[in-house]
Each structure stands twice: as structure tokens, then as C-alpha cells.
Amino acid sequence: MSVPALSAVVLAAGEGTRMRSERPKPLHRLCGRPMILHVLDALAEVAVGKVVVVVGHRGEWVTKTLADHAPRSLSIELVEQAEHRGTGDALAVGLTALPDAELDGAGDVVVLPGDTPLVRPATLAALVRHHRATDAAATLLTAVLADPAGYDRVVRGKDGGVERVVYDTEVGTDEYAIDEVATTIHCFHHAVLAPALRRLQPVGPRREHSLTGIYAVLHDAGYRVESLQVADPMEAAGVNDRAQLAVAEAELRDRINERWMRRGVTMWDPERTYVDASVRLAEDVVLGPGVVLQGDCVVGSGAEIGPGVVLQGDCVVGAGVEIGPGCHLVDTEVGDGAVVQRTTAAGARVGAGAIVGPFVVLGPGAEVAPGDMVPAFARLPAEGPGSAGSGSGPGPTR
């Protein structure tokens, strides 16, 4: 028995006015990576055949970002929602990029926004499994909240199935006490989507075609509508302003640190250790408090990086390296067994077994040969004859 095709539509056309930024909302960064890339990273771990990304505000910026940084394993097509008319309309635009054979066949489509960077691949996979196991036309990811104010409420029928979803501004007295809310993550059977979207009615003060209305349309048409409750509501949390961005950043950093510690990395103080999503660490790396690793850093096995260290850009740190307190390294390569103390370096290369610092500045193009020692207060490249920068110390010695 063949497995039905699975596609995805990522809705990334909103302006994100509450972010108060010229940067499109899906491109605001979490742990060094734009939000939408975290969403695509999750989809890349699910068996998705094609991903359609619907862009709008500053769409050319989003397009370039995805062309440069999206997971290469995904087949991505971008379409533009020229006029913002709600999530239902955005999905209708996205469907135009899916082959007719998929829309008319037995396949399914996962729909989620580009501002849910905390969703886990396992949750998306579980949503698809539940959707297919129950033979549903639509399956909604839901969450139970202690304070559901401001969220769309899930109304269930006598059989326990989803009857409708009430838009948050239209919640009445009958729905006010409901604590189960609709997230913005869905799974639909391809064939039912386009007809159901055409029957959506505008809601809210802006009279937009919201995707929440599709569940009542499908239920009233006699289709089976299912739901799956997410265990951790934080996974489905959207990021709409800078405060929510900070909350998502903290959550994602906790996840990253926990993952590395379970893989054999020691962190003296995880609450004060910042590791970007693109950083790669080997086993037995030790990170002291106040360490910041940003960009495409690579840290080899057995390296010790002391308190207050900042690594940015394309840093490569070899095995057995000791990077002491107060170092700031940008686009710098440190060879195996080197010791670097209280050093600022940008675009430099430190050879294996070299000893650098403390209080050394390595400028762009500076190279410390393997086994060399750069004494305290030196500056490379030197600024004048016999100079080691400020003139307070000699150049590299063996």
C-alpha cells in the first residue's frame, strides 16, 4: 500500500506590524537563525515532498533568505499573496503552487505559519499520523491554556469531535469558559481544501478570510474533523512582538543547551551560556559561564572555552583547545591544542599548539604559526617596524 503524498504550505505573508520593524516578521532571528528557517528545519525532518511558502510584505527579502539558507533537502516554491486578506486567502494562494494531481488525489497538506519557530518535528509527525489514522478531512493542533483570553476557541460537538472554531474577537458567553484553543498548525486532506476555502466568510474587524472558519465548513458538509492536543503549548506559540520574541529565544536556547549537554558537552552555567543554532560542538567540550558562540562556529573534542568568551561568525576551534576568559573571536580558526587567553581576534588563524595572550589583538589576516607564542599585549599584524601593536611587548616567539 503506497503512502499518500504529503506537502506543506508555510504562511509567511503577514506584515507583523506589532514587531515595529522594517524586517519581515518571519526573518526576525532566534538563536542566530531567522524564525522561518526554524519552521523549515522542522519540516525537513518530516517526509514532506514539496513546501510552498506564501510571501507578501518584503517578499524579495524572504525569498533571498530562503534561497541562501533554507534546508537543501526541501523542495521549496514561493508564491506571493499580493493583497493581505487573511490566512484563508493566503492558503488559497499557496494551493496554486501544488500540482493538480496532488490536490485531487489522496495526499495531505500540513499548514503552519512562518512565526512558530518552536514547533518540534515529532509534533508535526504525530499530527500527520493522527490525521491519517482517523481518516479525517482536517486535523487541528490544539492546546489547553490556563488563560485562553485572546485565542480562538475550539467548540466540540456531542460526539467529541471538532464542530467549529470561534474567532477570538467573536467569542461569546457560551464559549468564554472554553480553555482549549486552536493553534495555527493544521493538516488537511488535499481534495477538500479548495472547495472549503471558497466557502469561508469574512470575520473580525478587518473582515478577513480566516482559516479558523474552515472547520465549521467541513463539519457542516459532513466531513470528519479531528484534533490533536499538543503536550507543550509553547511549541505552537506564535511570535507577534518583541516580548514574545524574547520568550521564544529563551525557550529555544534552553533546548539547544540541553541537547548539547546530553551529547557530552559540559556547561558550567547553562543560564549564562549562549549557543546559536548553527554552532557545532564535539564531545568533551567545556563551556564556562558567559560564553557566547554565534554563527557557524565549530568546536572540536576536548576544547575548553572559559568564562566570558564570545565566538562569532565562521569560527573553527580544534581538539584540545583552551580558550580562556575574556576572549572575543570572529571568523577565526584555532588549531588543535592551542591556548588562547583574553584575546580579541578577527579573521585570524592560530596554529596548533600555539600560545596566545593574554591581552592580545589579532587583526584580519594575522597568522600565528603552530607552536609559536604571542606574548601579552601584542598586536598582529604589527603596526610598525619592531612594533607589536602598542609597543609594549615583542612579537611571536618560539
Domain CATH number, residue 212: 3.90.550.10
Number of domains in the chain: 2
389, part of any domain: no
392, part of any domain: no
Domain boundary among 236, 255, 271: 236
241, part of any domain: no
394, part of any domain: no
Give pLDDT, residue 386.
43
Q: Are residues 63 and 175 both part of a single domain?
A: yes
Q: Are residues 199 and 61 both part of a single domain?
A: yes
Partners of 10 in beta bridges: 53, 112
Give 275's DSSP letter: E
Cell numbers standing for residue 276: 546559536
Burial label for 295, CB within 10 Å (0-12, 13-18, 19+), is middle
279, part of any domain: yes
Burial label for 164, CB within 10 Å (0-12, 13-18, 19+), is buried
Q: Are residues 214 and 296 both part of a single domain?
A: no
Range of the domain at 163: 6-236
Cell numbers standing for residue 177: 469558559
Cα–Cα distance, 370 to 337 (Å, whole number): 10
Q: Are residues 292 and 227 both part of a single domain?
A: no
Give the C-alpha distances (Å, rounded to integers) separating 11 from 2, 26, 112, 148, 320.
29, 9, 6, 23, 45
Which stretches of the chain drop beneath a pLDDT of 50? 384-394, 398
Q: In sequence order, which residues have a C-beta less than 8 Å from that of residue 274 and are 6 or more positions away?
A: 253, 291, 292, 293, 294
Supply the pTM of this predicted model: 0.87
Question: Are the beta carbons of 214 and 136 closer than 8 angstroms?
Answer: no
326, part of any domain: yes
Q: Are residues 308 and 199 both part of a single domain?
A: no
386, part of any domain: no
Question: Are the beta carbons of 165 and 250 closer than 8 angstroms?
Answer: no
Q: Are residues 165 and 43 both part of a single domain?
A: yes
Give the C-alpha distances (Å, rounded to integers) separating 368 from 34, 276, 372, 374, 391.
35, 27, 6, 8, 18
Q: Are residues 185 and 331 both part of a single domain?
A: no
SS3 for 349?
strand
> In CATH, what number is assigned to the domain containing residue 358?
2.160.10.10
391, part of any domain: no
Give 221's DSSP letter: T
Q: Are residues 227 and 275 both part of a single domain?
A: no
Give pLDDT, residue 105.
66
Q: In sequence order, which residues have a C-beta less than 8 Å from that of residue 105 and are 6 or more positions away?
A: 4, 5, 190, 191
Residues recorded for the chain: 398
* Category of 177 on φ-ψ map: left (φ > 0), alpha (ψ -120 to 50) or beta: alpha
Note the Cα 278 to chain centre separation in Å.
11
Q: Are residues 85 and 174 both part of a single domain?
A: yes
Q: Are residues 229 and 273 both part of a single domain?
A: no
Q: In sequence order, which residues have a C-beta less than 8 Å from that of residue 16 and are 6 or more positions away?
A: 24, 25, 26, 28, 57, 115, 240
- How many CA atoms are closer than 13 Å to the CA of 170, on its beta-carbon side? 15
Q: Are residues 225 and 268 both part of a single domain?
A: no
Q: Are residues 272 and 219 both part of a single domain?
A: no
Q: Locate cell 529555544: which residue?
A: 252
